[in-house]
Each structure stands twice: as structure tokens, then as C-alpha cells.
Amino acid sequence: NRSHPKLVRLAYEDFARSGVNVLTTNTWGYTLNDFITEKETTIEGVLNAAKMAQEIASNHSSKKRKVRVAGVVPPFPISEEDDIDTQARVEDTAWEMIETMLPYVDLWYFKGIDSKFQGNCLANTACSQSVKPIWISYNIDKLDTKIDKCVLRSGETVEEAVVHLLSWIPNVRVLLANMEGKAEHMQVIMEMRKRTMLGMDIMMGAYSDPPLTEPLDKFPDRDFDAYVELAKEWWEVGARVIGTGAVMDPEDVAVITKRRHVKSA
């Protein structure tokens, strides 16, 4: 965002041209340590990312298609076991990112959440100071066959995480699941739908890296056709926001966005 802004701008441009409805800011990779050791330059990078995304989104918006910007807040590590000072430092850092991006984004995206506590703490930093919609995605660890429910990496069920989140955070508008290409995770979409309160205007969503035909270290070809089939299945069980995996390029995304019934991000 600071050293190679032209590359970031080019990536935004390519994804906007591919037909996405939401551009995510290039801010997911920042860490707590970045804000401790290089705070000034980190804030500058966050600001640049949000400004460029807003500019590109505006350039590609029209009466027929509104391209929005999601301000991405990383999954800073935080747990109930942390002391008060640690929790406060994480929340303050998240708020610094939110405050920096606030004038340039349309919604907040808390991506890659591993636990109920982490999701609530981070999302609360946004809703306490901003009325912008909140999107949140959970990392699905596995389908626990003993209880026949999907669980997060923390071991908590997705259902209890969603119930807890919606009881505390009023402006949640999209719940996403990182499916990690596993068919057994499919039922998590139905679990999330079941736990949203009657009358709440909340959409379900899903994303994953495309299934790989070989180990990552062999630079495999991506089985993108399989990803498209997964997206169809997600849609059929209720997902209305289809995300893109980290290894997908704009050409891949264009294939999905041509399916007009899918809202892609």
C-alpha cells in the first residue's frame, strides 16, 4: 500500500472490472506488531488502501451497478484468557484501523474469525463508533460428528457464535463461512440461517480457496470448475454472498459474477 501502490491499484481495477459488487481493502495482512513497531507507516498504508479502493469503486459504479468498499479488519488474536490490558490493546488497534478507513468505506468486514469472543470483541469496536453494516466470516474447522454440528477452530459451535454475536452486535448484515473446500462444511450455512432471528435482514455467504489437485508447494493448477460447482451448492442451501479465495484471480471471479443471481465479493 505504501511501497507499491500502483500494484494495489491495478489489483483493485482488475477485480472491479471482473464484476464484483464489493471490493475489500488490502488490509487483512496487518498485525498488532505492525502497529507497535511501525505505527505511523502502518496507518499510512491502511489509509492508502482505503482511499484507492474508494476511488476505484466509484469509477466502476453506475446506475445499474453499485460497487461498495469493505474495510477489512484482520483477525487480531484475542481471547477471554487474555488480561485486560491485552484485550484493550487489541480493541484499540482495531479501532485505529476503523477510524482511519471510516470516511472511505461502505461497510466493515471482519474476516477469518476463529472464536465467539474474538468475533464479538472486534465487531464491537465498529458498532460502538459507526453505524455502517458489518460483515463477518468464521473459519470452519470441522463437522463434529458427535454432535452433528460445525465448529470453529476454538471448538465452539458456529450456532453459539452466531447467537452470541447477534445478541450483542446490532448492525450485522452478512454472515460468511470459510468452507476451506470441504463438502462436509456445507451444512454450516443452514446452521447460521437457523440461528438468525426472525425478521433480521441478514444474508448468508460462503467462500473458499478452490480445491487443489496437488500440494501447494508444487504450485498446482487450481480446479476452478470444482469451485464453481461448490458455489452452486452454497447458493442452493441459502448462501447469497459468494466470496473469492486467496488464490483466485480476476478472470476466475468474472466467471462467477456472470451468474447474475450471485452477489459476489
Give start and end residues of each alpha helix (H) in the chain.
Answer: 5-17, 32-37, 39-59, 84-101, 116-127, 158-168, 187-195, 224-236, 250-257
Alpha carbons 42 and 9: distance in angstroms, whole number: 18
Amino acid letter, 140 = I
pLDDT tens digits along 159-173: 888 888 888 888 888
State how far the alpha carbon of 209 is from the alpha carbons of 2, 90, 112, 182, 248, in Å. Answer: 27, 28, 13, 10, 7
Mean pLDDT of the chain: 82
Q: How many angstroms separate the CA atoms of 171 and 248, rounded?
A: 29
Residue whose C-alpha is closest to residue 1's, from 43, 58, 54, 55: 43
**For residue 219, pLDDT beyond 50:** no
208 φ, ψ to 5°?
-170, 155
CA angle 24, 210, 250 (to 5 degrees): 45
pLDDT band at 7 (very low <50, low <70, confident <90, very high): very high
Please state which of the ranges 39-43, 184-188, 199-203, 209-213 shows the lowest mean pLDDT: 209-213
Task: Provide the percentage of residues in the chain whose pLDDT is more than 90.
Answer: 26
The least confident of 37-41, 55-59, 135-139, 203-207 is 203-207
Please tell me the predicted confidence (pLDDT) of residue 210: 54
pLDDT digits (tens, 9 = 90+) for 47-95: 999 999 999 999 999 888 899 999 999 988 877 777 788 888 888 888 9
Grid cell listed for 3: 511501497
Mean pLDDT, rounded, for 241-264: 67
The structure's pTM equals: 0.87
Residue where the block lists cell 491485552:
86
Q: What is the percent of the chain with per-residue pLDDT over 70, rounded to a whole number?
A: 83
Can you tell me the mean pLDDT for 170-184?
78
Q: Contact at 8 Å (CB) between 235 and 262?
A: yes
| Rounded Cα distance, 172 and 133, in Å | 6
Task: Look at residue 54 and give its three-state secondary structure.
Answer: helix
Interior/surface letters 110-134, b for 16+ CB within 10 angstroms, e for the rest? bbbbbbbbbbbbbbbbbbeebebbb
Taking 70 as the threshold, does the pLDDT of residue 207 lie above it?
A: yes
